[in-house]
């Protein structure tokens, strides 16, 4: 098996910027208009992301005939870069697995004085009375410990949302948990 793998990869060392992406690490950015695709490609390349314009697979041929292939695990950073230019993809989809949707199921656990919200593999815990973020747990990408260091001790209404400093899909999950926790505290649903 590994001889085959070695042959496939060539066994050569590559610089980080040129590291080839496996199919599971890629996603499609879908836009309504061709002009948006071209602008997005230029902007993302300029920002240092490895992106390519490709023809869409059959099930994505709903609008534009081009999609951008991008590093899926950097989806959060890519979104932020596009937002700066006012570009909003119609859809973002993992290349492998067809039409997978981002996780939408949020779990909440009430610990009395505290509430914990979990999105996918990431959890945030907030003190109900004060709104203080007391813990951030989980994640597998290195920006979650980084974000946790920034957020723990902050008030959830004053803290930067994870999307400001996050880069990975794990931080995107943390963003979802953060927004839900803030909503629950604000609405008094705890």
Please list, in sequence order, all residues whose beta carbon lies within 8 angstroms of the beta carbon of residue 82, skipping any fewer than 6 positions away: 29, 40, 43, 44, 88, 89
> Which residues neighbour 151 within 8 Å (Cβ) at sequence distance 6 or greater?
124, 133, 136, 159, 160, 162, 178
Q: Which is nearer to other proteins, 86 or 97 (CB)?
A: 97
Q: What are phi and psi of 24, to 5 degrees?
A: -70, -15
Rounded to the nearest 10 degrees, what angle do helices 143-151 and 169-187 cross at?
Answer: 30
Query: Quick check: 45 binds other proteins (CB under 8 A)?
Result: no
> Using CB under 8 A, which of the segments 61-69, 79-87, 161-169, 178-186 binds other proteins?
161-169
CA–CA separation, 43 vs 51, rounded Å? 10
Task: Answer yes or no whether residue 50 interacts with other proteins by CB under 8 A.
Answer: no
| Residues facing residue 127 across a β-bridge | 114
One residue of 35, 55, 57, 145 binding other proteins per CB under 8 A: 145
Q: Does 30 bind other proteins (CB under 8 A)?
A: no
Pairing of strands 67-71, 122-127: unpaired
Assess 104 for contact with other proteins (CB under 8 A). Answer: yes
Stretch that binds other proteins, among 7-15, 30-38, 56-64, 80-88 (CB under 8 A): 7-15
Which of these ranges, 59-67, 79-87, 93-101, 182-190, lies near other proteins under the rule CB under 8 A?
93-101
109 to 128, contacts with other proteins by CB under 8 A?
Answer: 109, 111, 113-114, 116, 118, 120-123, 125, 127
57 binds other proteins (CB under 8 A): no
Report how far residue 40's alpha carbon sits from residue 28's, in angstroms, rounded to the nearest whole number: 12
Interface residues with other proteins (CB under 8 A)?
2, 5-6, 9, 11, 13-14, 16, 19-22, 24-25, 72-74, 94, 96-98, 100-105, 107, 109, 111, 113-114, 116, 118, 120-123, 125, 127, 132, 134-149, 152, 165-173
């Amino acid at each position: 098996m590994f001889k085959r793998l070695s042959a496939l990869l060539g066994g050569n060392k590559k610089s980080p910027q040129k590291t080839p992406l496996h199919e599971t690490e890629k996603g499609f950015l879908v836009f309504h208009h061709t002009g948006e695709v071209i602008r997005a490609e230029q902007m993302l390349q300029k920002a240092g992301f490895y992106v390519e314009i490709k023809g869409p697979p059959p099930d994505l041929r709903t609008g534009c005939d081009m999609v951008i292939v991008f590093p899926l695990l950097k989806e959060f950073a890519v979104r932020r870069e596009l937002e700066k230019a006012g570009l909003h993809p119609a859809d973002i989809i993992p290349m492998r697995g067809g039409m997978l949707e981002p996780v939408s199921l949020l779990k909440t656990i009430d610990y009395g004085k505290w509430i914990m919200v979990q999105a996918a593999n990431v959890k945030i815990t907030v003190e109900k009375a004060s709104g203080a973020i007391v813990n951030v747990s989980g994640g597998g990408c290195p920006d979650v410990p980084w974000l946790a260091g920034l957020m723990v001790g902050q008030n959830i209404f004053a803290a930067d949302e994870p999307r400001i400093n996050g880069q990975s899909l794990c931080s995107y999950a943390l963003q979802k948990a953060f927004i839900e926790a803030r909503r629950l505290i604000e609405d008094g649903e705890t």
